[in-house]
Structure formats: structure tokens, C-alpha cells
Amino acid sequence: MVPELVAGRIGERVVHTSSATRRNLTSRILPGNHTCSQLAAELADEWVEYIDAAGVAAGTVQCYRQAIKSLCTSVDMQMGEDASRATLASDQPDLARVIAAWERALPSGFAPNSMRPTILSGAIRTLIRRRAEHPHRPVAERVAGLAKAGSGVPIGENNELDEFSREDKQAMVRAAWAAVIALEKRLEAGWRRAEQGRHPRGDSWMSIPNLLWGLAHDAVTPAEISDGLGPPGGWTEELRECIRRPDGSFPATTARTVLSRWLVAQLWPNTLDLHAFRVLLVDATAHPPEEMSKLTEDGVEFTPGGVRLTLVRKRAKRRYYRAFKDASVEMADVIESKEFTDLPRREPGVIVKRLMGVTERARVRAADPERNLFVRAVVDVDRELKFCEWNPEAPLARFSAWLQAHNVTVEGKVDIRRLRKSGKVEKVVASRGHIHEAADDHYEETFKSHYAQGTTLRVISGEVINSAQEHWLSQALQGPTVLSQEAVAAAEESTHLQALGLSAQEADDLVQGELDMGVTHCKNPYDSPFSPAGELCAVAPLRCLECRNAWVLPSQLPQLLLFGDHLERVRQRQTPARFTAFWGQSYVNLRAVLDDRTEQEVALARKHIAEGGITLDLPLAAHVEFDA
């Protein structure tokens, strides 16, 4: 069996560890009850040193831990007793073959198209390459060659996150503002009660003001409070009400720990509280949530019109600066009230000021050399009060837990990064599609590949295309107006044609044949949708059947039949795609006109063609187009 690989309390990062500390962590990773102990020790050493040097985040730390555990499990299964001799320094036993087999089997343990197998394989290869670069840590040639070669695990599909809907986003922002205001009121009330208390040792352990006073003045610890309170059965009703669950039940087995955390939360923000500020900052700036949660005191400069922030893009190893102006009241989405001051505004300066206000006391106690703004107070399992950097992925306090605590339900995956995409979409809409304005903190290529696939932008693009098509169809491809014999007869004695949109002169010219263009009649050849206004139509009669100005009279049936024969010959010569592109609309409209004629009318028209020697007059280009 492979042991549970845990680097002590590596929860978030291992920073500046000494050699002794690294040895201690490695020993805690390797309890020594597995077969491939030497291989696990080599990989664990590289892992601890790598996370120390790179300062990687908690998620990356866990990836390496999972990769080592998975590989060691596979080595034990494949090699049996020989696993005890497995080492990166020797080709015997053949560890390269075992690693390759492990990589091939990795995808079977995950969902289809998962990217996790590729990540785990890459983690092991990174550790091996790092060890091979060390002058005093030998790595077998076959193993080193395998690590330097391309990964044998196929890369899965990464489905891009879609942005939040406008309704979901508004619900989150409203909940965040309400949470911020509630937090400010809670801390204000907590410190006011702490001022009323005295040292619990000289007074009473059952007084909430006394307990708050002791924590505020660092006079007592959560462990001392737990010991001083004694069993929950002897508590006052006031203390019991502080930690009673919403359903009315009382956590008897964990009462003292829960009460300690409740007391701390009255004086300093906890992990769950800081999600609200991140939501507001991402909404107001449309910048990555990890950059917002890494803001520092030195990276904030307030200006008369807003705030200037220093942002760090860790993955790109880039530091850049952005100035944000505070929005005016007129930009508010909803009407403000006395209770929710600043609630509807997107004012990064105001949000940062309020964040600094609620974390000020916690930052003083933390003594953080980086001076981060997102600092929390926590009571750990050892009942110690700690002030540390905020971890949004802390168990039981993730973003999903914050949404649930504030009764916010969102559609789709619960991921704060979707809120940034919503901001990107708004920038595109506000800038009327100018990508360079939306891609203000990355390359335009990144925007096209990562942000342009959102539902809102697809809908907008579809609406633009549909509007353009409808405009063109209404202007040019509406097709001709077809008149029956009865309509023509009625038009000679009434204003029927004028009711259809023709002037009196145009109606008279139409009946008299003055507007005949061959295949159809034309209402106005100088107002063609295919040519500039005022110029004679350049595509008549080839495109007359696609034009809004065209009028088809019964007398033109012979010409329509001849034109139909011409299109049939063209259709036989050209590929379907080319014929549809050049003649498709005309062919469809022509078939619709001919289908409205009776068999007797068509037969009579064919007879006129044969006996009268009627021919189709088309431009030369219509006959040589196939050769062109």
C-alpha cells in the first residue's frame, strides 16, 4: 500500500523552508510502510524543494501530491517485490517502462476528455527533469529521456466556462453588498461589546463581553476560553443562543470550538466573509479574481477620482497598473436607499476602502511582510487563533458555500472566474465590439480563444448576422411581385396597382409594357439594390428575379420558361455549391413563379415560343460564365 502523502500543514504554500524543515516534511510524507520507498523519497524531496522555490499555490501542491501517490501505487502493482529496488538513478529495474505504462493507464481512471491525467503526468516529468539537472542527483538515461520527451498522455478537452447570466450576476452583487454591510455592522458591534468587558479570569467566563475583551486584547486564547467555559451543559442561555443552528439544534459535541470561532468572527473577518469583497472587485474591474485577492497595501493608491491598483499576473510573471474611476450615481442599476449606501455602484475605490477598513485590525495582528489586504482570522483544530492570508479554497468556506449561505442560486458551474467573463462581455458591448478595449489586460488572441465563446457574445453575434441578413433580404432579396391575369385586368380599370406601392405613372407604364426588362418588368431600374443610387441597374435581367423592384406579368411567361431552361443548363454544368452561390435564389424564386402557373398556361407559352421563334435575350457574360 502507498501511504497518504501529506506534507504536514502545507495547506497553502511552503515558503522559505530550511533544510531541517524539508527533511521533516519529507519524513512526514513518507511513513515508510510502502514498497517503493526509495522512489517515493526521491520524488518527495524534489516536490518539497520545488514548492519551496516556486511558491506554488495550494491547488498545484495537491496535484504533485496526487501524482506521486498515483505513480507509487502503480509501481507497487507492476513490480511487486522488485518495487523496493525502484530508483530514478538506475535502469534496473526498468523504471522508464513502468512510468510509461502508468501514463498509458492514467486516462482510464478519470472522466472522458479529462485534463487531469495530463497534469499528473506532467507533474512527475517536471520532478524528474528537475532532479536530472542537479549535479549530485543521478538520473538514469532512459528515465531522463522519457521525462524530456513529449507526454504520452493525450491532452483532454478544456470546456470553456460560460459567463454568468445577468440575473445571476445581479443576485451575487446584491448579496455581496448586503454581506459587506452586515459584516461592517457585526464588527462594529463586536468591538463595542469588547470595550464593555473585563478580563474573564477576574470576572466571569460566561460573559460574552469578557470573552471578546480577552480576545481583542490578546489576553486569552481560544483554548483557554474552551477550558474556562467547561461543558456546554453549564453554559448560560445567552452563550447557547450564539451558536444555535438555524433549525434550532445545538452542536453539543463541537460547542466550544464553534463558540470560539463565533467570538473571533465578532472581531475580525473570517474566511467566508471575504468572498463578498472579491465578488465586488471582480465585478467592478473585470480583472482576474486571483489578482484581486492578492492586493497589497503598497499596491493601492487612492486618487481624487478613484483608485490606482498594482496588479500581479503570477502565471505571466507580470506586474502592471490600472486606474479605476468611481462610477457616478447616474450609472447605478437600481435606486439607492439609506440602508444600502453605495450598493448599486461599481466603485473600486469605495470597495477597496471598505475592505481595508474591515481587515485593518486583522492585518495589524498578522504582521504580514507582504501586507496583503485579504487577511482572515481563523481558529484551527488545535484551538489556536491565527491571522493569515485568505484562502478562498479553504474547506467548508469555498465560493459555493458563500453562495449557499446567502441563498444565491446560479445556473451552471459555481466558479468565480465566470464573473470576470461577464465583465469582459460588458466591455465588448460597451465598446461596440472593439476587442482591444476588452482585452486590456491580455492579448487580443487570448480574448478570442478564451472569452469570445460566451453565450452573450454568441447571441449578439447571431443577432448582428440576422439583422444584416434581414436588412439585405428586405432590400434586395425580397423577390419579384407576381401578378395574375385577373390582377392585370383589374389594374387597367382601377387603382389596384397603386395600392401595391406603384405610382399612377408607374402603374400605367407597367401595364403598357414600358418597364419591360425581358424576364420581368422593373419598377425603377435607377433605384437598384445591386447598384449605386441613380445609376442604371448593372445586373438586369440576370438578377431581376431576386430584386424587390421586379414585377412579373402573365405575358412574360415565355421569357420565364426560356430563362428556366437556361438555368437548368447552367445547373448541369456547375457544381451544386457554385450554382447555389450564384443562381440559387433566382432558381428558387423562378420555380415558385412557374409553380403558380397552370399546365394549360405553360403549354400555351411553350407553343408561342415554338411558333413565334421567341428567344431569350441575355448578356454575353451569362453565356461565358461557366468558362470563367
Q: Is the pLDDT of residue 559 over 70?
A: yes
Choice between 422 and 447, residue whose per-residue pLDDT is larger = 422
Choice between 515 and 610, residue whose per-residue pLDDT is larger = 610
Rounded to whole angstroms, the Cα distance separating 70 from 443 reads 37
Q: Is the pLDDT of residue 499 over 80?
A: no
The reported pLDDT for the residue numbered 494 is: 46
Of 471, 268, 454, 287, the C-alpha closest to 375 is 268
Say how many C-beta atoms besides its own lie within 10 A of residue 434's C-beta: 11
Q: What is the 3-state secondary structure (H, E, C) of 175-219?
A: HHHHHHHHHHHHHHHHHHHHHCCCCCCCCCCCCHHHHHHHHHCCC
pLDDT in tens, 475-495: 544 567 777 666 666 555 545
Rounded to whole angstroms, the Cα distance separating 2 from 498 reads 91
pLDDT in tens, 317-343: 678 888 888 764 444 343 333 444 444
Choice between 194 and 521, residue whose per-residue pLDDT is larger = 194
Q: Is the pLDDT of residue 447 over 60?
A: no
Residues 6+ apart with CB under 8 A from 289: 278, 282, 392, 416, 417, 419, 420
Q: Is the pLDDT of residue 405 over 80?
A: yes
Q: HSE on the CB side for 414, CA within 13 Å?
A: 12
The reported pLDDT for the residue numbered 595 is: 84
**Whole-model pTM?**
0.56
The reported pLDDT for the residue numbered 426 is: 64
Q: Which H or E run contains 423?
A: helix 417-430
Rounded to whole angstroms, the Cα distance separating 171 from 176 reads 9
Choice between 120 and 327, residue whose per-residue pLDDT is larger = 120
The reported pLDDT for the residue numbered 492 is: 55
Q: For a pLDDT cut of 90, what percent of the chain falls above it?
A: 18
Instruction: Confirm if 261 and 268 have CB atoms less than 8 A apart.
Output: no
Rounded to whole angstroms, the Cα distance separating 16 from 490 reads 97
Choice between 460 and 508, residue whose per-residue pLDDT is larger = 508
CB-based burial label for 170 (10 Å; 0-12, 13-18, 19+): middle
Say how many C-beta atoms besides its own lie within 10 A of residue 25's C-beta: 24
Cell reading at 455:
453565450
Choice between 23 and 589, residue whose per-residue pLDDT is larger = 589
Our CA dihedral for 600, 606, 612, 613, rounded to 10 degrees, sits at: 170
Q: Is the pLDDT of residue 530 over 90?
A: no
Q: What is the mean pLDDT of the chain?
A: 78
